[in-house]
């Protein structure tokens, strides 16, 4: 089974795909419609796993990135963000770690509130999606959760375990790139986290 088969087995048929026309490599972003929910799309990198990444302890893995958003956001803009981020990740030759935060920065796509991402297990997807074992090394699928406002700072300060507890208790719409931040103004302790 190829990684494409692995993705399609868990997410359905590929709807469309994008590639940087100026790039000479095989890095792409593909979209799966109605995933993880009706009215939403899941975007996945394809080809990032061709470049093995190293964990801080020296172990090597391959990774592909997942990102989900409601269909109200332009698919081409989401794909452009994910392709750019994947190129950055590949340039670092370092595996993303669970709980790692990137941002805050400019909005992930023009005009949205989300300005950072959080590397997580693909918890909103079937368990089988998380790892493609037929590749050498195995490919881990990392879900990039969009962060808004001071959420990046809170994850860094309090750790990913506390942040994931906050996500569970708050149950925010993580596909809404304009959702309210889970973190208020100055001095907010992130709901006691």
pLDDT digits (tens, 9 = 90+) for 20-33: 887 768 899 999 99
Domain count of the chain?
Answer: 1
- pLDDT of 107 strictly over 90: yes
Residue 59 lies in a domain: yes
State which residues form the domain around 48. Answer: 3-170
Q: Which long-range contacts (CB under 8 A, 24 or more apart) does 19-25 make?
A: 19/83, 20/83, 20/87, 23/87
Cα dihedral 185, 124, 82, 131, rounded to 10, equals 130
Quick one: pLDDT at residue 151? 96
Residue 46 lies in a domain: yes
Banded model confidence at residue 189, pLDDT cuts 50, 70, 90: very low
Quick one: pLDDT at residue 185? 56
Which residue in the block uniquely carries the two structure tokens 């693909």? Answer: 122
Please state whether beta strands 60-70 and 139-148 pair in parallel, antiparallel, or not at all (unpaired): parallel
Residue 25 lies in a domain: yes
- pLDDT of 191 strictly over 50: no
As a whole number, the mean pLDDT across the chain is: 93
Residue 41 lies in a domain: yes
Report helix, strand or coil for 67.
strand
- pLDDT of 14 strictly over 90: yes
Quick one: pLDDT at residue 190? 38
Banded model confidence at residue 186, pLDDT cuts 50, 70, 90: very low
Residue 11 lies in a domain: yes
Residue 111 lies in a domain: yes
Quick one: pLDDT at residue 20? 85
Residue 180 lies in a domain: no
CB 62 within 8 A of CB 87: no
Residue 18 lies in a domain: yes
Banded model confidence at residue 123, pLDDT cuts 50, 70, 90: very high
| Residues sharing a CB contact under 8 Å with residue 123, sequence separation 6 or more, in sequence order | 143
Question: Among residues of the chain, what percentage have pLDDT more than 90?
Answer: 89
Structure tokens at 126: 């079937």
Residues 127-134 have a mean pLDDT of 97
């Amino acid at each position: 089974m190829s990684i494409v088969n692995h993705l399609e087995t868990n997410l359905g048929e590929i709807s469309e795909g994008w590639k940087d026309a100026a790039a000479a490599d095989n890095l792409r972003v593909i979209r799966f419609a109605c995933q993880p929910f009706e009215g939403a799309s899941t975007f996945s990198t394809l080809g990032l796993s061709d470049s093995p990444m190293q964990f801080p302890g020296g172990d090597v893995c391959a990774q592909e990135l997942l990102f989900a958003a409601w269909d109200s956001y332009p698919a081409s803009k989401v794909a452009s963000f994910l392709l750019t981020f994947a190129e950055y990740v590949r340039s670092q030759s370092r595996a993303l770690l669970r709980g790692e935060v990137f941002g805050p920065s400019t909005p992930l796509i023009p005009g949205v509130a989300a300005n950072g991402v959080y590397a997580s297990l693909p918890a909103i997807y079937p368990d089988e999606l998380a790892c493609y074992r037929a590749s050498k090394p195995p490919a881990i699928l990392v879900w990039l959760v969009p962060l808004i406002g001071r959420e990046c700072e809170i994850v860094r300060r309090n750790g990913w375990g506390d942040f994931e507890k906050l996500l569970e208790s708050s149950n925010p719409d993580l596909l809404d790139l304009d959702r309210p931040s889970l973190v208020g103004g100055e001095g907010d302790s992130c709901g006691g986290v």
